[in-house]
Structure 1
Amino acid sequence: MASRYKDKDAGAVLSFSGQWVSWSHTAFAYLAFLSALIIGCSLHYHKIVQNEWYGYPQEWFPSVSATIGDRYPERSIFMIAIAITSGPRFALVGLWYLLTAKPGHTLPKAVAISGLIRTLTCGGWTYITSTDDHDWHDILMISYIIFTLPWTTGCILLSPPNAKAIKYRKYIAGAFFGTLVPLIYFFIQHKVHRVPGAYTIYAFFEWSLIVLDVAFDAVTALDFDTFELVVKDVKGMSKGSNNSSVPAAVLEKEKEKPVFVGFRLSDALDIAADVYHGFVFWSVLTSLGLVIWYFPLWHMGISGYEALVLTTITPAFLGIKMFRSLVVQNQRFFHLLALSGLAAYLVKDPVYRLFTVGFGVATGCLAWVATLLADSAQPARLETRILAWTIGLIMSSVAKFAWHTNNPVWPIMHAANGGWNGTGLVFGILAALRFTRRAPLSGGDAPQEKNGSSLLSALSIGGLFFGLHSLLSDTSTMISWVWDGYPVRGPVANVHGWYTIIAMTIGVAIGVLRPDLVTSWTAYGVACVGAAILTIYPHWFGYYGGLTLAMYLMAVAFPLISSAAKKNVAVTFGLGFMIYNLLVLFHVWVVAYAFVPGGPLVREHTDWIMITMMLSIGAGVFDLISQQARSGRKTVKASDRTRPSATGHRRYHAGVLGFLHLFFLLANVRRFPSNDYKPHHANDRLITAGIWTIHFYLDNDMWSSEYRMRDLIKELEIDVIGLLESDTQRIIMGNRDTSQFLAEDLGMYVDYGPGPNKHTWGAALLSKFPILNSTHHLLPSPVGELAPAIHATLDVYGTLVDVFVFHSGQEEDPEDRRLQSEYMAKLMGSSPRPSILLSYLVTRPLEGNYNTYVSQTSGMKDVDPTDWDRWCEYILYKGLRRTGYARISRSTITDTELQVAKFVVPSNEEEQAKAWDVSEELRMRRVEEHEVPEGWRFPQMFRGEGVRGHRYHVFDEPRYYNY
């Protein structure tokens, strides 16, 4: 906030409006009582509604005294908050006296004395509770109410000529004293007449008094704007200034002052903390869509929780001058609040965990933009902040690679599934404290660029952040875009992911060293070509386009964010993040069109998303080029790029980047394929195949489920498994690919299936046997969602076996499902080899489309036609000898069971012929477990109650057949 004084305030180290005394008193007072009420009701509800006569359900709302004085921890939290309130409370009384005191008048002194006594008695009845000493608690509370009368009356009489304030004081005071009448009446009904429920009504009036009492004092904010409180260093001993406004001469000196000179450990720690803090921002932001996605999954449509995507637009509130000043001058507080997104893993309930993450995103976006605004006056300081943001994104991608595309500090992670949340939170607190240790260079009123358009800048921020998030928040995202099945003709995630990191690093270097180069139409045109190649082409050529786009996005981030920070940040970042949100929703709707209003309009139009993203970024490039043309200069002068004050920090950032690359390569060595891919029962020529709809690797309690999935797949000795609803390479699913972890940990080959640019919910194939060839299919879906399928040929003990993984359309689209059944029947029938279908068919056994899948056209047989309790998952086969079939309960991993079947692969042409020609009667004959070889049997551990919630169910035991 700008000081009203000129040269006299040269030594001021802190100044703020007197209004903040009122607002801080109001905020902490309400916080004290409200936190006690929420915590008390959450932890001790039945105890705090209990009184000497009745309890729940006769009494169902607690009194103030019971809430703040009877139980731990609400009592302690209340007392801490009310202690903090005492400072602003005494300051409020003092400022009111200074405002109203006039020579020769005694009323202001009397009102001030009553205000002081009232404050002291408030401390008395809040700290001496009815549980401690009932008599003194009542005496002090009654005294408080008595001294409230002269205080409120005196304040009304002494009010400055402010019609609004006078009106509010009269209304609130009238409501306060009017509330005393029913309060006393219901207290008598409870205490004397022992009327059940009377104390609950009394409690409502008691809480109303609290609300009205604090509100009355809050009205002083309308009068205290006449005050500015200034703290001055009269001897000049302070090391730094927290002035809300920096004189121009001082600011110019700060611009030229080197931020980092030579090598110092403290400077290195500063940069490391900055980058880690940037990593925290991206970790929390990228987790938001993931925890939101959990809810429409279970609602099978819009749940309402999607509204939390709007938590990113909080920078728009920086358009309010008072609020902007508050945030800029208290950056540390808001950056620490943003760490709630890391602490969200401690919240078990998915709804509350979602809101905790949303709060972390809201405060994180607000704090970061306030920091950019405050530091925009000095190029070197601003550059370090932008580098922290961009290199933090690289660190996030590196960490996700090391943890198989899961971020170890996400709120879906915990110790049981590989999370490092506690460690991440501790480092996050330390990093936030160090990140905010340097005083801001302005109080929120930094001079804004007169040239340029805030609207165009906002468009570019929206497009930029969407591009960074959707394509670069995981090293395997663009690789999954260009993956097109076996044989391998393009990059592989666990081998070539480093190329994405290299491209991002080169982009950072170009953006810092040559921002004028990336803000040219030539560079923009090359990036547009790269985006088109990534969208259209598969294999290496498509990936090269993606790498080009990655370099450009990281490079152009510097001039675009720098320009946005020097304009109206409420528009450039508030509106910018709103545009980012719209692109995120667009990104969802191209595949979720069947579940959202207006979805068919954008059905399968990832190309439109890329065009919109690049046009948005182009708007910012146009703005920068226009500014350069008007000013006749480059965005950053060459001298600014090379002087020590602008380059001293870069060696540390280069060191951090080097460390991240080293860490990535070490993780790459650990993840490099080294499995022997041995099937479980090679001596028996057995193939155990499974099908599982895994709900995007989120379990029923919103934890990442890959560890539990791995354990069940391993214990069931599965050799080939189809996973459905497995495409997680989208913002709403965290841009991850858990099939990588399963394949590497279980020693299996993996086919990701149709990529995210193919607009399906995904189908993946994991196999202990080499995948010689695989083809991806998108089945006819004229109305509903696209149905993905994989047709893979495996080398099974020297015999070629075809495996089909298929996810049919929804029940609501019968014509889609009919066309898809015909397509799959022809596809399976075209294979002369032994085959297995691992599928999600949405049909009843022996009815409807079932008879198309199981038909002469397809040549396929049902693994168990007598299993009447199926609707979605089916296993079909041909040319193999079926030996067993089981259904295993899913526990809380997903909403669908795991189905498994065992087959013996014929060893020669004669046995193959027998497998094809075996009669239906013989095929259907069931046998006892002891009649089949031991190697063909299902594990015993899942019998009875099973383990970890997994057991054989429906049949209560596996079924075995004459093969």
Structure 2
Amino acid sequence: MNGITAGFPPVRKSGSTRDLKHSNPGLLAGFSIGGLLGFMISVYNSFIFWSVLTSLGVLIWYFPLWYMGISGYEVTLLSSIAPILLGLPYATKFFAKFPQIAQLGQLIGVAAYLVPGPSDRLLTVTVGVIFGTIALSIEFWNVTARPFLGLSKATAFSIGFILTVIAKFAFYANNPIWPIMHEENGGWNKTGLALGVIAAMLATRPQAGAVDVVPSSKRGCFVWSACGLAGLIFNLHSLLSDSSTLAYWVWTGYPVTGPLPVPHGAITICAMCLGVYIGVVAKPLSSSWTAFIIGSIGATVLYSFENWTGYFGGLVLTVYLLSIVPAFLESASIHSPGRTFGLAFFLYDLLVLAHVWVVAYAFVPGGPLLRERTDLVLGSAMFLIGLGVYGAGKVPTSGSSNAKINSINFYKVRSFALICLTSLSALTASIAYKRLSMETPKPYNPDAKLMTVGIWTIHFGLDNDMWASEVRMRDAIRDLEIDVIGLLESDTQRIIMGNRDLTQQIAEDLGMYVDYGPGPNKHTWGAALLSKFPILNSTHHLLPSPVGELAPAIHATLDVYGVPIDVVVFHSGQEEDVEDRRLQTAGVSDIMASSSNPLILLSYLVTKPLEGNYNTYVSEKTRMHDIDPSDWDRWCEYILYRDIKRVAYARVSRSTITDTEIQTGKFVVGDDLTSSNAQIPESEVPKEYHYPAMFRGEGVRGHRYHVFDEPRYYQ
């Protein structure tokens, strides 16, 4: 292989970019087509690695969702510690001699979309992760043996990571080659797999057979390198594997006073590109204690502040994290790959579990110890990175005694990085421009001043067969002509949930405003509001939860045909936590009672009609009415209203999208606020108030009117 993946002579003594004695002939000095192609092969193999690794958590998450607790499948998370297998006799030399084997093996994780059963698909991805982490360990083993090869491969590794983020930016927060994607929901699995086979077959390991230039007496302790790598990979995965995550960490609602996933996700990606470039041209600076302090300040600001201030802190942290990748991977490369990368991924797994425990504390052993302690998780990751900075400071910098060789190899890396980063930044900007909607959302029935609302618990966007369900959700919401809908169990901005944003495709395709609700650092399962009417103001609430899970609520004021109407989206706690639900009921009742506007509650209440807490929600204090008090079959989802005329109500089956139906209601905005519980035939209702006929009988795509078998209409 020509160019950057070959031709690196052994190092005779340490050197650095500071040894470059020749004048800089230009930013693209050292460029060659062959070298760029070799560099891009490493980039794409990194893209595959990150795609497979980030898909594992999504598939694991499917099982505790259905078990409502520990399922046993969580043990597959430990597949990432597979590099310990390199401790077996001859294993390291075998994979080093044939690097294509491990690279091809990780593609099993991409091919997993061909496996229909959820458990079998998870186990297939597990195999891909095993080979992927081994491939990574082997790729960087002894990489310092050739001048600037470590810088080259680490830069390609970072760019491959950025490429996954851009792919998610283009595909509405889903990686198109994840095994939860297929052709029906927008997946590009076949294309990704075909390109992956080519890149894997062309993978090389230029340092094979090179002399080990770092004596064992100067290597220091492998533990520091492993700790740093663990903290780095965890922070990249948890905060930056999707361009919308930082925006939701600091999101506070309407009016907008902070970043939005689109277009500002492009800024996050550009900050990542800047970090990579700094890592190339100023590696000693990026791996210094000064840079670590700046990065730690950025993390503190991100955690402590909201809106633009918090986001700017996140951008500082972003630049820092990407800039230290070369130093940390080179530090790890001088030690035994099995124990260094094995320990790194074990510590990474512990951080991943802690990252889930902070919100899943009600369902896991020892959960209260980490309840709502994202600060501890982020702080621990930064502490590990600090240990990595200490370890990286002990590593002699790779270089050659020949300054000319140093110049050539450094300029090669810089030129390839500059070309790739500039191209990716331009691609990101074009995606942001294309996705930035210029059309004003419009309701479905403006002439009738009709407002159709809905509530749906969407089970984190994974359907019963473990496929991403945003496309199917979008189609159901569209065909029901829902103007305003509350989505519950919707916060997927965690490693175990894929760092996804379920609202993006639905909102953009249907033309709706979005309030994501309390963000991932607020430790809830999520509540989101999508509306075709402008959101004038919104406030996020965390209802009292002394024992069980936090209950999120959104209180928003919408401009509905010129009338301010309040909508509250709310998810109550679990059945087992009686006192929590009583306190949460009182809290939501206070929110509703404090509003002077017409109001609609879209909710998950965990109560029987006319019993218990129901009578606190529907009371003289709240002035709220049940959309249909005669509907005895409810337990979780409810629609309540006041000071607005209700004309229809329907329940629609979920198909296989989730475990909860869609409940919808129709309201008319105007001077007539009178509503009664008297039901009338559909023939007496204006046609514009009718529910779509396609959902009658067998319905469409598995959705049909059920419980009543038809909508209900009221005087």
Which TM-score band applies after superposition, normalised by the shorter structure?
Answer: over 0.9
Structure-1 residue corresponding to 2:23: none
Residue 707 of structure 2 is aligned to residue 943 of structure 1: no
Q: Mark the runs of 5 or more structure 1 residues left unpaired by the alignment.
A: 1-237, 240-245
- The structure-2 alpha-carbon separation of the partners of 1:537 and 1:439, relative to structure 1 and needing over 3 Å to count, comes to closer
Q: Deviations over 1:446-482 (max 9, x none)?
A: 8565332211111111101001111111111000100
Task: Assess, with a 3 A threshold, how the Cα gap between structure 1 residues 768 and 261 changes in structure 2: closer, same or farther.
Answer: closer
Deviations 1:50-84 (A, max 9, x none): xxxxxxxxxxxxxxxxxxxxxxxxxxxxxxxxxxx
CA shift in 2, pair 1:634/1:389, >3 Å:
closer
Do the aligned partners of 1:640 and 1:646 also contact (CA within 8 Å) in 2? no
In 2, Cα distance between the equivalents of 1:495 and 1:780? 34
Match of 2:192 among 399, 424, 428: 424
The reply to whether residue 602 of structure 1 matches residue 355 of structure 2 is no
| Residue 256 of structure 2, aligned match among 488, 503, 506 | 488
CA–CA distance in 1 between the matches of 2:216 and 2:476?
A: 60
CA distance in 2, matches of 1:718, 1:605: 37
Deviation at 1:261, TM superposition (A): 8.2
**Could you tell me how far apart the structure 1 residues matched to 2:319 and 2:400 are?**
22
Amino acid at match of 1:824: V
Specify the alignment match of 1:825 in structure 2: 589
- Do residues 888 (structure 1) and 655 (structure 2) align? no
Give the match's secondary structure for 1:435: coil
Given the alignment of the two structures, is residue 503 of structure 1 paired with residue 256 of structure 2, yes or no? no
Does the 8 Å contact 1:943/1:951 carry over to 2? yes
1:308 aligns with 2:76: yes
| Deviation of 1:263 (Å) | 4.0
TM-score (norm: length of structure 1): 0.70
**Offset at residue 824 of structure 1 (A):** 0.7
* 1:325 equivalent among 83, 93, 96: 93
1:524 and 2:292 are equivalent in the alignment = yes
Deviation string 1:405-436 (CA, Å, 9 cap, x unpaired) is 11000000000001000011001111112223
Whether 2:490 is the aligned partner of 1:726: answer yes
Q: Alignment partner for residue 930 of structure 1, among 683, 702, 705?
A: 683
% same residue: 54
Among 626, 631, 641, the residue aligned to 1:867: 631
- Aligned mate of 1:557, from 319, 325, 328: 325
| Structure 1 position 571, deviation (Å) | 2.5
Secondary structure of 1:332's counterpart equals: helix
- Which residue is equivalent to 2:165? 397
Which residue number in structure 2 is paired with residue 235 of structure 1? none
Maintained 8 Å contact 1:405/1:474: yes
The yes-or-no answer on 1:650 pairing with 2:403 is: no
Q: Is the 8 A contact 1:417 1:704 kept in 2?
A: yes
Give 3-state SS (helix, strand or coil) of 1:774's partner. Answer: strand
In 2, are the aligned partners of 1:328 and 1:443 still within 8 Å (CA)? no
Cα displacement (A) at 1:569: 2.2
Judging changes above 3 Å, is the alpha-carbon distance between structure 1 residues 286 and 715 closer, same or farther for their aligned structure 2 residues? same
d(CA) in 2 for partners of 1:250, 1:470: 37
- Please list, as runs of the form range in 1=range in 2, the aligned pairs for 1:443-842 lying within 5 A after superposition: 449-451=216-218, 452-625=220-393, 627=394, 643-842=407-606
Amino acid across the alignment from 1:577: F
For residues 818 and 736 of structure 1, the distance between their equivalents in structure 2, rounded to whole angstroms, comes to: 32
- Rg bigger for which structure? 1
Cα distance change on mapping 1:507 and 1:636 into 2, 3 Å: farther
Q: 1:442 aligns with which of 206, 209, 231?
A: 209
Is residue 2:625 matched to residue 1:851? no
SS in 2 for 1:901: strand
1:370 aligns with 2:138: yes
Does structure 1 conserve the Cα–Cα contact (< 8 Å) formed by 2:96 and 2:208?
no
Which region of structure 1 is more displaced relative to structure 2, 800-809 or 517-526?
Answer: 517-526
CA distance in 2, matches of 1:541, 1:642: 41
1:278-357 equivalences in 2 (<5 Å): 278-357=46-125
Alignment partners' CA distance in 1, 2:648 and 2:581: 29
Residue type of the alignment partner of 1:712:
A
Q: Is the 8 A contact 1:690 1:718 kept in 2?
A: yes
Report the CA distance between 1:859 and its aligned residue.
1.0
1:439 shift after superposition: 5.1
* Count of residues paired in the alignment: 699
- Structure 1 counterpart SS, 2:296: helix
Question: SS at the partner of 2:191?
Answer: helix
1:240-259, aligned counterparts within 5 Å? none
| Whole-Å separation in 1 of the counterparts to 2:405 and 2:516 | 45
Assess if the C-alpha contact under 8 Å between 1:399 and 1:408 holds in 2.
Answer: yes
The aligned residue for residue 381 of structure 1 is 149
Determine the C-alpha separation between the residues in 1 that align with 2:112 and 2:53: 13
- Whole-Å Cα distance in 2 between the matches of residues 600 and 792 of structure 1? 31
Letter in 2 for 1:674: M
Q: Is it true that 1:955 corresponds to 2:678 in the alignment?
A: no
Q: How much has 1:351 moved relative to structure 2?
A: 0.7
Q: Distance in 2 between matches of 1:310 and 1:403?
A: 29
Preserved CA contact (<8 Å) 1:370 1:444: no
Give CA deviations for 1:101-128 in whole Å, capped at 9, x if unaligned: xxxxxxxxxxxxxxxxxxxxxxxxxxxx
Q: 3-state DSSP class of the match of 2:528?
A: strand
The one-letter code sitting in structure 2 at the alignment partner of 1:515 is K
Scaled by the length of structure 2, the TM-score of the pair is: 0.94
Cα displacement string for residues 714-752 of structure 1 (whole angstroms, at most 9, x for unaligned residues): 000000000000001100111110201111111000000
Distance 1:327 1:720 in 2: 55
Call closer, same or farther: CA 1:611–1:254 in 2, change over 3 Å: closer
Amino acid at match of 2:196: G
Deviations 1:361-388 (A, max 9, x none): 1101001111111533113222222112
Distance 1:512 1:806, change over 3 A: same
Counterparts of 2:683 and 2:708, CA distance in 1: 17
**Whole-angstrom distance in 2 between the partners of 1:727 and 1:249:** 50
Unaligned 5+ segments in structure 2 are 21-27
- The change in CA–CA distance for 1:677 and 1:444 in structure 2 (over 3 A counts) is farther
Deviation at 1:255, TM superposition (A): 11
Question: Deviation digits for residues 464-522 of structure 1, max 9, x if unmatched?
Answer: 10011111111110001000000000011111111111211111111111111122222
**Equivalents in 1 of 2:241, 2:377: separation in Å?**
17
Task: Name the SS of the counterpart of 1:313 in structure 2.
Answer: helix
Asked if 1 retains the 8 angstrom alpha-carbon contact of 2:141 and 2:337, the reply is yes
Q: Is the 8 A contact 2:147 2:398 kept in 1?
A: no
Q: Which moved more, 1:744-753 or 1:381-390?
A: 381-390
Cα distance 1:419–1:640, how it changes in 2: closer, same or farther (>3 A)?
A: farther
Q: 8 Å contact 1:873–1:899 — kept in the other structure?
A: yes
- Rounded Cα–Cα distance in structure 2 between residues aligned with 1:429 and 1:635: 31
Distance in 2, Cα, partners of 1:390 & 1:821: 47
Q: Which letter does structure 2 place at the counterpart of 1:858?
A: T
Structure number with the higher helix fraction is 1
Map Cα deviations across residues 644-674 of structure 1 (whole Å, 9 max, x no partner): 1233233122212222112211211110122
Where 1:924 maps in the other structure, the secondary structure is: coil
Asked if structure 2 preserves the Cα contact closer than 8 Å seen for 1:318 and 1:569, the reply is yes
Give a deviation string over 1:531-577, Cα, whole Å, max 9, x none: 01101111000000000000110011111111111122222211011
2:152 counterpart letter in structure 1: T
| Paired AA for residue 209 in structure 2 | S
Deviation at 1:703, TM superposition (A): 0.4
